[in-house]
């Protein structure tokens, strides 16, 4: 199952890491670096990124340096976490076969080579946080502890902070 989900995910990430970012990727990385160097938001730096995208870019630049690879690696780690959470929630709800199938299909949609080169990163972050939030909610509904509900709310509330258009 890991291999079947990993093949499209790995190919998509390879293509994504070897292509330049979308038109606003460089600006987001520059804003993140400028803020890390001490710029005050709203005074010295007026980032065009939404708060969620800006925080992920700041974390990516802080961990991996001033380049576009850091935020892409952060996205990859978050996507893998979302797929793992989705697997556990679907397995508990429908069984292992359904969970494996769901994760394989989701890995294709999250990072298919056709989508990876043209995908909107902000929407991918939104999808990640929605998947994790819903997985936590399902685990709570299936007799989980109270903190699954708290995590569901936390992740679901972060999902719209990556893209301002519409309600996710």
Question: Could you tell me the pTM of the whole model?
Answer: 0.84
- Within-domain flag for 47: yes
- Within-domain flag for 124: yes
- Within-domain flag for 131: yes
- Within-domain flag for 156: yes
Q: Is 96 exposed, middle or buried (0-12, 13-18, 19+ CB in 10 A)?
A: exposed
- Within-domain flag for 29: yes
- Within-domain flag for 91: yes
Element (H, E) at 150: helix 146-158
pLDDT score for 159: 83
- Within-domain flag for 167: no
Q: Which residue range(s) make up the domain with 8?
A: 2-162
pLDDT per residue rounded down to tens, the chain (168 residues): 677 777 877 877 777 777 766 666 778 888 899 999 999 988 888 888 888 888 988 999 999 988 888 888 888 899 899 999 999 999 999 999 999 999 988 888 877 656 655 555 567 788 889 999 999 999 999 988 999 999 999 999 988 888 766 554
Q: Are 51 and 75 in contact (CB under 8 A)?
A: no
- Within-domain flag for 59: yes
pLDDT score for 168: 47
Number of domains in the chain: 1
* HSE (side-chain half, CA atoms, 13 Å) at 90: 19
CA–CA gap between residue 158 and residue 117 (Å, rounded): 25
């Amino acid at each position: 199952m890991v291999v079947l989900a990993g093949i499209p995910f790995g190919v998509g990430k390879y293509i994504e890491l070897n292509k330049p970012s979308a038109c606003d990727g460089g600006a987001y990385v520059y804003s993140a670096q400028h803020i890390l160097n001490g710029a005050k938001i709203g005074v010295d730096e007026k980032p065009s990124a939404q708060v969620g995208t800006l925080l992920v870019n700041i974390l990516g630049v802080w961990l991996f340096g001033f380049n576009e690879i850091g935020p892409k690696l952060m996205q990859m780690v978050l996507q893998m976490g979302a797929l793992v959470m989705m697997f556990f929630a679907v397995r508990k709800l429908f069984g292992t076969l359904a969970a494996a199938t769901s994760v394989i299909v989701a890995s294709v949609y999250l990072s298919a080579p056709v989508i990876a080169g043209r995908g909107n990163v902000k929407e991918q972050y939104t999808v990640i946080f929605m998947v994790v939030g819903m997985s936590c909610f399902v685990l709570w509904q299936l007799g989980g502890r109270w903190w699954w509900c708290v995590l569901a709310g936390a992740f679901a509330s972060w999902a719209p902070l990556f893209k301002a258009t519409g309600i996710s």
